Amino acid sequence: MQVEGDGAGSAGDRKRGLASGAHQRRGRLSSGSEKIDIPAYAVAQRLSEVCGEQAVPVSTGVPELDRVLSGGILAGSVTLLGGEPGVGKSTLLVQALGSLSSAGNKSLLFSAEESAPQVHARAERLGVLGSGLLLSAARSMPDLLRVIDEVSPDVVAVDSIQTVEEPETSSMPGSVSQVRECAGQLAALAKSRGIAVILVGHVTKDGSLAGPRALEHLVDTVLMFEGDRHHALRFLRASKHRFGATGELGIFEMSVSGLKSVEDPSGLFLCDRRPDAPGSVVLPVMEGRRPLLVEVQALVAPAPCEAAKCSAQGIDSTRLSLLLAVLERRAGLSLRGREVFVSVVGGVKASEPSSDLAVCIALASAASGRSVAGDLVAFGEVGLGGELRQASQASRRLGEAVRLGYLSALVPASSPDPPTGMALLRASTVSEALLLLSLVPEIGAAQSRAHALAPYRPRDRRGDDDDVTCVGGYAS
Ligand code: TYD
Ligand code: MG
């Protein structure tokens, strides 16, 4: 079997590649005497001859959205914007489309969920009425495709994909097969015409978009918009992004005139902190390339019943259980029989392992009732042996701390030198770190080493547990 045609196999064409119009040609597949036409995009090409030109992202005019999209939106891309009802998806969409329109990108919004007067009122409130943004109330796929044909837009947004229907598909609008069919047609259109498509999708009760994994594979980018409806802060994250990194976090504040990009999130997270309160520690986290300072809080209280409770917000609850075990076995701080609460203030997720040390310090501070120095930050990963391990991008974390007036840092012993003006407290083990802050009473060096390195021995087999409890004096 061989590929023939007006160029697919010829030496001249192989030199010219896709950029010289190879995508216009059609290939012919010959199998014996039978010739089958194959579309140009399907013709096999040497990878080295494929046009390697990268499309340039176009700014959406919303800085925090651009940050998460690695610069902006790309022609021919499909972006899914997900989030719970009321979080602000339509607001973000209208703001971005308004800016894109004002910048000369013909933008078309299909608002099947809200009436035209509602969208008009929102656009007025957001100050984008004069942007030239086009609105259509079309709901069925054939209508949508006709309008797109007529308008030839650069950007198409559908709010929401759950309210659009394909009459050819027998199931109800909003069902997984309908949503998948409509999204598939729009994705094919985006690729064939180079239109940037944005689909809004509501999350289902289990937190996934329009049913488990229904759309994620069809789109290039999945953005999740999160936030507590009772608070103004909103967080935008990319859980999938074919054109850039996924670690960036966009932070917004919902105001009376729409979503405002938050310029100085660290300052905002720490503005209400009470530094003298036991259980409070400042933690520098990395969100993508941006360092953020957040407050970790812990509360340790007597358990009202046998089954002690352990609750985590902003950190993984399994990680919290692990740290409680390490504190008990390696630092002699047992919180058995207590209720333990840990929270990262402001709704940020401090899921990276370098948050461990701050969580341990917050727990020890809460258990002892002693506060830590108000200008201290702490970070570092805690190993199962109680050892402290270096965090990535330590210099950037420390730089952000200095910028906000935090002048001392408790870090793993192997951390790089601090920026000017900052004093470093270095510790090799979590036990040493707690001792440096006087959160556990002084114990001998040999004992401290023993806590750091002691192998785990189950209580029931040994019959005694003198070496693991009460060393810190806070065991129940
Ligand atoms: P919306 O964008 O409609 O949410 P979604 O599309 O995710 O369902 O926004 C919902 C909330 O945002 C609503 O309760 C009103 C509030 N809001 C403001 O506070 N300020 C504004 O300028 C706008 C447009 C909305
Ligand atoms: Mg909406």
- 405-437 pLDDT, tens per residue? 999 999 999 999 988 889 999 999 999 999 999
Measured at the CA of 195, the angle between CA 142 and CA 6, to 5 degrees, comes to 95
Measured by CA distance, the residue closest to atom 21 of ligand 1 is: 258
The encoded tokens of residue 302 equal: 């007597």
Fold (CATH) for 63-262: Rossmann fold (3.40.50)
Measured at the CA of 89, the angle between CA 84 and CA 92, to 5 degrees, comes to 155
Q: DSSP class of residue 209?
A: B
Contacts of 46 (CB under 8 A, 6+ apart): 14
Q: DSSP class of residue 9?
A: T
pLDDT of residue 210: 58
SS3 368: helix
Across the range 39-62, mean pLDDT stands at 82
- On the question of pLDDT at 250 being above 80, the answer is yes
Measured by CA distance, the residue closest to atom 23 of ligand 1 is: 258
SS3 30: strand
Q: DSSP class of residue 190?
A: H
Q: Which amino acid is residue 98, in one-letter code? A: G
Q: Which band of pLDDT confidence, cut at 50, 70 and 90, is reported for residue 216? A: confident
Any idea which of 3-7, 44-48, 304-308, 412-416 has the lowest mean pLDDT? 3-7
pLDDT of residue 267: 86
The encoded tokens of residue 129 equal: 């009425």
Ligand 2 centroid distance, CA of 5 (Å) = 50
pLDDT of residue 209: 59
For the chain, give the longest Cα–Cα distance. 90
Q: Beta strand pairing status for 107-111 and 155-159?
A: parallel
The encoded tokens of residue 25 equal: 């040609």
Any idea which of 219-233, 268-282, 324-338 has the lowest mean pLDDT? 219-233
Q: Write the CA distances from 280 to 223, 410, 427, integer angstroms.
A: 32, 14, 19
Q: Which residue has the tokens 């001998």?
A: 444
Across the range 323-327, mean pLDDT stands at 96
Please, where are the H alpha helices in 251-385? 265-270, 317-331, 356-368
Measured by CA distance, the residue closest to atom 8 of ligand 1 is: 86
The more confident residue out of 427 and 440 is 427
Where do the CATH 3.40.50.300 domains begin and end in the chain?
63-262
Cis peptide bond N-terminal to 136, omega within 30: no
- On the question of pLDDT at 463 being above 50, the answer is no
Determine the Cα–Cα distance for residues 349 and 440; give it in Å rounded to an integer: 28
Determine the Cα–Cα distance for residues 284 and 376; give it in Å rounded to an integer: 11
Across the range 176-185, mean pLDDT stands at 91
Q: Is 334 exposed, middle or buried (0-12, 13-18, 19+ CB in 10 A)?
A: buried
Q: Is 98 in the pocket of ligand 1 (CB under 6 A)?
A: no
Mean pLDDT across the chain, nearest whole number? 83
Measured at the CA of 59, the angle between CA 55 and CA 64, to 5 degrees, comes to 125
pLDDT > 90 in the chain, percent: 61
Determine the Cα–Cα distance for residues 398 and 89; give it in Å rounded to an integer: 34
Q: How far is Cα of residue 105 from the mean position of the Cα atoms in its chain?
A: 28
Q: Which residue has the tokens 């590929």?
A: 3
The more confident residue out of 37 and 200 is 200
Where do the CATH 3.30.230.10 domains begin and end in the chain?
268-462
Q: Is 230 in the pocket of ligand 1 (CB under 6 A)?
A: no
Determine the Cα–Cα distance for residues 304 and 291; give it in Å rounded to an integer: 39
Q: Write the CA distances from 343 to 67, 261, 299, 323, integer angstroms.
A: 26, 24, 9, 14
Across the range 373-393, mean pLDDT stands at 96
The strand pairing partners of 234, in sequence order, are 252
- On the question of pLDDT at 205 being above 70, the answer is no
Cβ distance 99 to 66 under 8 Å? Answer: no
H or E element that contains 426: strand 423-427
Determine the Cα–Cα distance for residues 246 and 46; give it in Å rounded to an integer: 30
Ligand 1 centroid distance, CA of 359 (Å) = 34
SS3 234: strand
- On the question of pLDDT at 459 being above 70, the answer is no
The encoded tokens of residue 40 equal: 């140009």
Across the range 327-342, mean pLDDT stands at 93
The encoded tokens of residue 122 equal: 């929102």
pLDDT > 70 in the chain, percent: 82
Ligand 2 centroid distance, CA of 242 (Å) = 25
CATH number for the region 268-462 comes to 3.30.230.10
Measured at the CA of 412, the angle between CA 407 and CA 416, to 5 degrees, comes to 70
- On the question of pLDDT at 272 being above 80, the answer is yes
Q: Is 83 in the pocket of ligand 1 (CB under 6 A)?
A: yes
- Which of 84, 91, 257 for mutating ligand 1's site (highest number of atoms within 8 Å of CB)? 91
Q: Is 79 in the pocket of ligand 1 (CB under 6 A)?
A: no
Dihedral sign of CA atoms 364, 366, 367, 371 in order: positive
Cβ distance 50 to 56 under 8 Å? Answer: no
Determine the Cα–Cα distance for residues 44 and 314; give it in Å rounded to an integer: 49
Q: Is 86 in the pocket of ligand 1 (CB under 6 A)?
A: yes
